[in-house]
Chains A and B, each alone.
Chain A
């Protein structure tokens, strides 16, 4: 019994230590925002690696999710003769919820795991140590451009996801199922508020982008520098990011839309 309590206590201490380490790590990285032209070039390279190279999965997923939403929405709304509201339904669902959340989950799986593996491998092959010994801070040189790159890329990817999703919904709803195009766009325009819906979605994606990238770079930097350690860190990145995104989504939704 005492052993079990001691084990729980040890695990609690380890979690607290990990939070402390990640907080200190974040402070060090945030201070390393690229200010020089060389730092800006590193940031642009990471925006390409994290953002542009994630475009394919974001666009394809957004398209199919928009199409599925249109099909499901049409089936339900046509029972009530309200299929004209399909544009409004698709836009609100994507902009408020699915855009930021699904983009964040895909981002964690595609870019987050890659960031963790890359930094972890640099640690295992002593590249980070060699940088330190050259008088170059790896937090500034390696981690900061990746964190800021992820932070900036995520809201843009979420916006692209929602836009493509709406277009996919239009393809199915209007071009295939025959919903009147004027109602599709008109209802959407009338019901989607820029500040209440679009900006809240953008705020969500900014928060998710920050948390997912923080988890990814920290797991890579803090991993045990062995193949098993990198594998475990990559798994943790995807699991922790997904849980954090879903949990934070509930909290943010409650704060943004919970005033009943």
Chain B
């Protein structure tokens, strides 16, 4: 990896309700690049983002963001670190009682002492960046799914963060909305010099914009590298995921007792 790591995970072990999620995950996320974390549903991709953001603590291992060990930070230090982070949630997570304008203004009003006219200018600039300056008066309930995510994106970049994390940004989007989001993620990363972490299972879209990618499955990283390196990866499990083969190392059938036992089939003696 050419660039310095902005995020480092070392031998991270995490379990929830006794179920192991990560069993020794190590990962370096380069500064100023787009890194895609991919993997099948339910493998803990969103959990990984929550570990990076300090919303969850690992059972073991280190999570270092911008040189700070996240699990060891106190409450106020963690909240200060989060001011450098933006996160786009899968649902958008807009505040339903605030207008589009007020949603984007929210972090500015809390964390800065900017005068009202400057807040207005900043909010309109952020909304312009996502193409929704004209939607400033709308309420979240009046937005489509794609627009909701674009507003949430404008809100997450309101404080000009160093890091932005995208949780399944393409899930459930129509092709146009997906194209818009792909363009925005790429453009914002370039224009703002962000470190972007993209969690997704949409392989073509993710690989088309990321500089670096890794695939998480069975509680560990099963493949990582540039998109090209990943396409050439020798692991059958990686190839099955990238190409969406229905059967392979991840079997089509969920483990089940023998069919003979379930259907009460007797062996016919000759």
Which A residues form the contact surface with B (CB < 8 A)?
Answer: 38, 125-127, 129-130, 132-137, 141
Instruction: A130-B87, A135-B85, A135-B110 given; name 12 further pairs at CB < 8 Å.
Output: A126-B90, A127-B96, A133-B53, A133-B55, A134-B82, A134-B83, A134-B111, A135-B81, A135-B111, A136-B79, A136-B107, A137-B75
In whole angstroms, how far apart are the Cα atoms of A123 and B266 in the complex? 53
Q: Does B144 touch A at the CB level, under 8 Å?
A: no
Minimum CB–CB distance for A140 against chain B, Å? 10
In whole angstroms, how far apart are the Cα atoms of A133 and B83 in the complex? 8
| Residues 87 to 129 of chain B near chain A (Cβ within 8 Å) | 87, 89-91, 93-96, 106-107, 109-111
Partner of A126, one of B53, B91, B107: B91
Minimum CB–CB distance for A70 against chain B, Å? 42
Q: Does B183 touch A at the CB level, under 8 Å?
A: no
Contacts of B55 in A (CB 8 A): 129, 132-133
Among A125, A127, A129, A133, the most chain B Cβ lie within 10 Å of the Cβ of: A133
| Residues 59 to 85 of chain B near chain A (Cβ within 8 Å) | 75, 79-83, 85
The 3 closest A-B pairs by CB, nearest first: A130-B93, A126-B93, A135-B82
Minimum CB–CB distance for A88 against chain B, Å? 47
Query: In the complex, which residue of chain A has the Cβ closest to the Cβ of B80?
Result: A135
Contacts of B82 in A (CB 8 A): 132-135
Decide if A130 touches B79 in the complex (CB within 8 Å): no
Minimum CB–CB distance for B161 against chain A, Å? 10
Minimum CB–CB distance for B86 against chain A, Å? 8
In whole angstroms, how far apart are the Cα atoms of A125 and B94 in the complex? 8
In whole angstroms, how far apart are the Cα atoms of A133 and B86 in the complex? 7
Minimum CB–CB distance for A107 against chain B, Å? 22
A-B pair count, CB < 8 Å, reads 55
Minimum CB–CB distance for B149 against chain A, Å? 12
Contacts of A38 in B (CB 8 A): 109-110
Minimum CB–CB distance for A35 against chain B, Å? 14
Minimum CB–CB distance for B112 against chain A, Å? 12
Decide if B85 touches A133 in the complex (CB within 8 Å): yes
Decide if A129 touches B83 in the complex (CB within 8 Å): no
Minimum CB–CB distance for A27 against chain B, Å? 12
Query: In the complex, which residue of chain B has the Cβ closest to the Cβ of A139?
Result: B75
How many chain-B residues does the 8 Å CB contact rule pick out? 27
Decide if A129 touches B93 in the complex (CB within 8 Å): yes
Partner of B89, one of A126, A135, A137, A141: A126
In whole angstroms, how far apart are the Cα atoms of A130 and B156 in the complex? 9
Decide if A130 touches B110 in the complex (CB within 8 Å): no
Query: In the complex, which residue of chain B has the Cβ closest to the Cβ of A142?
Result: B95
In whole angstroms, how far apart are the Cα atoms of A141 and B95 in the complex? 13
Decide if B89 touches A129 in the complex (CB within 8 Å): yes
Contacts of B81 in A (CB 8 A): 135
In whole angstroms, how far apart are the Cα atoms of A85 and B89 in the complex? 65
Decide if B91 touches A125 in the complex (CB within 8 Å): yes
Contact mask for chain B residues 143-162; partner A; CB cutoff 8 A; 1 contact, 0 none: 00000000010011001000
Decide if B106 touches A134 in the complex (CB within 8 Å): yes
In whole angstroms, how far apart are the Cα atoms of A211 and B75 in the complex? 27
In whole angstroms, how far apart are the Cα atoms of A132 and B152 in the complex? 14
Decide if A136 touches B110 in the complex (CB within 8 Å): yes
Contacts of A127 in B (CB 8 A): 93-96
Minimum CB–CB distance for B164 against chain A, Å? 10
Minimum CB–CB distance for B76 against chain A, Å? 9
In whole angstroms, how far apart are the Cα atoms of A90 and B83 in the complex? 57
Minimum CB–CB distance for B75 against chain A, Å? 8
Contacts of A136 in B (CB 8 A): 79, 106-107, 110
Q: List 8 A-B contacts (CB under 8 A).
A: A38-B109, A38-B110, A125-B93, A133-B55, A134-B156, A135-B110, A137-B75, A137-B79
A134-B89 contact in complex given A125-B96, A127-B95, A127-B96, C-beta closer than 8 Å: no
Among A126, A129, A130, the most chain B Cβ lie within 10 Å of the Cβ of: A130
Minimum CB–CB distance for B47 against chain A, Å? 12
Contacts of B155 in A (CB 8 A): 134
Minimum CB–CB distance for B44 against chain A, Å? 16
| Residues 180 to 238 of chain B near chain A (Cβ within 8 Å) | none
In whole angstroms, how far apart are the Cα atoms of A137 and B82 in the complex? 11
In whole angstroms, how far apart are the Cα atoms of A127 and B80 in the complex? 19
Decide if A135 touches B109 in the complex (CB within 8 Å): no
Minimum CB–CB distance for B97 against chain A, Å? 9
Decide if A134 touches B53 in the complex (CB within 8 Å): no
Contacts of A133 in B (CB 8 A): 53, 55, 82, 85-87
Among B53, B83, B95, the most chain A Cβ lie within 10 Å of the Cβ of: B95
Contacts of B111 in A (CB 8 A): 134-135
Minimum CB–CB distance for B64 against chain A, Å? 18
